[in-house]
Amino acid sequence: MSPPLQPLRKFQIEIRVRYQETDAQGRVHHATYPNYFECVRVEMLRAAGISYADLEASGVLLVVTELGCQFHAGAVFDDVLVVEAETVKAKGTRIQHNYTIRRGDEVLVRGHTVVACINPQGRPQPLPEVLRPANLGLEHHA
């Protein structure tokens, strides 16, 4: 895998809330938001020219080791949400992302994850070259 030509520190996608993502109160269930975080992370890699499937096939697995969310307002069925991810740190075996989910100009959720790089046996391994700080636009944020 070659390094991406355009490192992406920030990326966003739109997601339309599906009915099955809502709870009995008609709002997006809190457990759904981490799925939105994962969607934007995978699409961010794809936009940078990195296939997550190819990473896994090469023995590079990324597992969530930390997850946090702050809920400010709820989304409902059929809302169109903008899910933004920002890569804020990459060092050794870990990458940290911060997230903002908006409906229009209204911030609904802020969150973060830390993902760790492991091998197929579950042991920590260094981030591959394509995910090292310089290739993520983080030369001064490592």
User: Regarding beta strands 61-71 and 80-91, do their DSSP bridges make them parallel or antiparallel, or are they unpaired?
Assistant: unpaired
Q: Which domains does the chain have, with CATH numbers?
A: 10-136 (3.10.129.10)
pLDDT tens readout for residues 58-92? 999 999 999 999 999 999 999 999 999 999 999 99
Tell me what pLDDT residue 89 has: 92
Tell me what pLDDT residue 8 has: 73
Residue identified by tokens 């975080």 is 37
pLDDT tens readout for residues 1-57? 454 445 578 999 999 999 999 999 999 999 999 999 999 999 999 998 889 999 999
Angular region, 104: left φ>0, alpha ψ -120 to 50, beta rest: left
Q: Is the entire prediction scored with pTM above 0.95?
A: no
Cβ(118)–Cβ(63) below 8 Å: yes
Angle at 119 between CA 31 and CA 58, to 5 degrees: 100
Across 50-60, b (16+ Cβ under 10 Å) vs e yields bebeebeeeeb
Q: What does the alpha-carbon distance between residue 99 and residue 76 come to, in Å, rounded to a whole number?
A: 19
| Number of neighbouring beta carbons within 10 Å of residue 119 | 11
pLDDT tens readout for residues 95-136? 999 999 999 999 999 999 999 999 999 999 999 988 887 767
